[in-house]
Amino acid sequence: MENWSLFSLCVLLGLTSRWAVSFHSYSGAGKPPMFGDYEAQRHWQEVTYNLPVHEWYFNTTNNDLNYWGLDYPPLTAYHSLVCAYVAKLLNPEWVELHASRGYESHSHKLFMRATVLFTDILIYIPAVLLYCFYFCDGFSKQKVATALCILLYPGLILIDYGHFQYNSVSLGLALWGILGLGLGWDLFGSLAFTLALNYKQMELYHSLPFFCYLLGKCIKQGLIGRGFFQLAKISLTVLVTFALCWMPFLSDPKQPLQVLHRLFPFGRGLFEDKVANTWCSLNVLIKIKTLLSRETQLFLSFALTLLFILPSSLKLLSKPNLWQFKLALVNSSLAFFLFSFQVHEKSILLAAFMLPLLVKDGLLLPYVVTSLAFLFLSLYLLSHLTRTNEPLFWYFPFLVISVATFVWLEPPAKFPDLFPVLVSILSFLHFLGFIIYFNLVQLMEPQRKKSQKKTN
């Protein structure tokens, strides 16, 4: 069968699963007064449509920052504005200032889900297809299998179409950035990644590899001459993109400061809720949250993040090729996740350990189905195509058992949070193992096999 038909079948399967998941409930459904992320997105449409730009990030009588204030960079705000215009066309009640708080209806849900699907089709899915087409080694069947696995990745589907977010935009733009760099279009890649960064500040996790890769490449080309020229062009692209995105906020020096203040809320603690990183896990043994002062916490997390990120970045700087770049992306994001400040579980987007969040949203059924399907499918396909006996097969029953335990057993009354915490700690240990493993791989460069490495 021809490639195009196989790829389109993968896309259609991915789209069907996405839309089928969207039938289920969303974050904060029917839970006044605060509701959830869904209401946050709707609220941002309301705010950006009705209020002038200079009020978006400020606490005014019309804009109560305590009720889901904007805390993503300007591109998200512009996206919400565009959605709001469409919403106004369909039903003005959806974005009425103040009056539309907590608005919930079937048609509104369809509209919101449709906006996610639209941006997915526009940005994320083409990026995945191009990535698999150009950057996967192996037969065309392997490329198609990879595309299928990525498109069916439950974490993204569940967060975007279940819980409700727009991660496909930022991840898609970042993927376009990676594509650009891979094809040698450095300017395009930088542009795409800068846009991703301006959509969600979480993309900072990936920023250091991008920086080191490009810098390393320029250095390799010679800092005097072509390399310098290239560096200048890239820097200019990045600065101009930033300027364009932040233009409405540059008129008054207070504006960008406030935006930054919203984006990086150092006022909040080291972590919130149960997240599978070092601080949360450590907190079980030593109560660091209360033991150390906020400044010390900040310094500690900064230092450790830097420590874990430095080896990989320096290696990339010295050897700027694509394989190093991909590994550095993994290492960098893991390091940030494990050690930085105010991390949310969503930052990891890893299916099996998102359970606590999704059960809260009433998304247990789609979660179980998509995760099992994904695990089964990727194990099946990859073991067939790489012809190895994946030791990961034992993982499958292990995860099933842990999921079952979490769902059906009641935790002892003394420790009501026992299971979420256990899951977090378990995941944390996994991630710690991953970061050590991937760092070793990147630094030591063992003999690379012909088979394709799945690193992203």
Partner 1 sequence: TVMAAPVTNDQSWFFALALGVSFLKCLLINAYHSTDFEVHRNWLALTHSLPAAQWYYEATSEWTLDYPPLFAWFEYGLSHIARFFDKEMLVVQNLNYASPATILFQRLSVIVADVVFFYAVKECCKCLREDKGKDLLGKPSFILTVLLLWNFGLLIVDHIHFQYNGFLFGVLLLSIARHFQNRHFEGALLFSILLNLKHIYLYIAPAYGIYLLRCFCFTQSNADGSLQWRSFSVVRLVTLGTIVLSTFSVSFGPFIGQLPQVLSRLFPFKRGLCHAYWAPNIWALYNIADKNHLIVCSYYERVKFKLLDINKLPKASMTGGLVQEFQHSVLPSVSPLATLICTVLSILPALFRIWHRPNGARGFLRCLVICALGSFMFGWHVHEKAILMAILPLSLLAVESREDARIFLILSITGHYSLFPLLFTTQELPIKIFLMLLFTIFSLTSLKTLFRKGGALLNPLEATYLLGLIPLELICEFVYPLTVWQKTFPFLPLMLTSVYCALGVTYAFIRLYISLLTCSDSTKKIKTQ
Which residues of this chain interact with partner 1, rule CB under 8 A?
Answer: 1-2, 5-6, 8-9, 12-13, 15-17, 19-21, 23-24, 106-107, 110, 117, 139-141, 365-366, 369-370, 372-373, 376-377, 380, 383-384, 387, 389
Smallest distance from partner 1 to CB 86, Å: 15
> Of the two residues 149 and 423, which places its CB atom closer to partner 1 in the complex?
149
Distance CA 384, CA 390 (A): 10
CB 358 within 8 A of CB 163: yes
Residues 6+ apart with CB under 8 A from 333: 205, 206
> Of the two residues 77 and 355, which places its CB atom closer to partner 1 in the complex?
355
Dihedral sign, Cα of residue 63, residue 66, residue 68, residue 69: positive
Distance CA 302, CA 407 (A): 36
> Of the two residues 13 and 284, which places its CB atom closer to partner 1 in the complex?
13
How many residues make up the chain in this entry?
456
Residue showing tokens 């043994």: 285
Q: What is the DSSP letter of 94?
A: G
DSSP output for 404-451: HHHHHSPPPTT-TTHHHHHHHHHHHHHHHHHHHHHHHHHHH-PPPPSS
Smallest distance from partner 1 to CB 387, Å: 6
Smallest distance from partner 1 to CB 381, Å: 9
Smallest distance from partner 1 to CB 117, Å: 7
Smallest distance from partner 1 to CB 156, Å: 15
Distance CA 403, CA 355 (A): 8
According to DSSP H, which parts of 202-345 are helical? 204-220, 226-246, 254-263, 278-285, 288-291, 294-318, 322-339
Distance (Å) of CA 37 to CA 40, 370, 372: 5, 21, 25
Smallest distance from partner 1 to CB 241, Å: 33
Smallest distance from partner 1 to CB 110, Å: 6
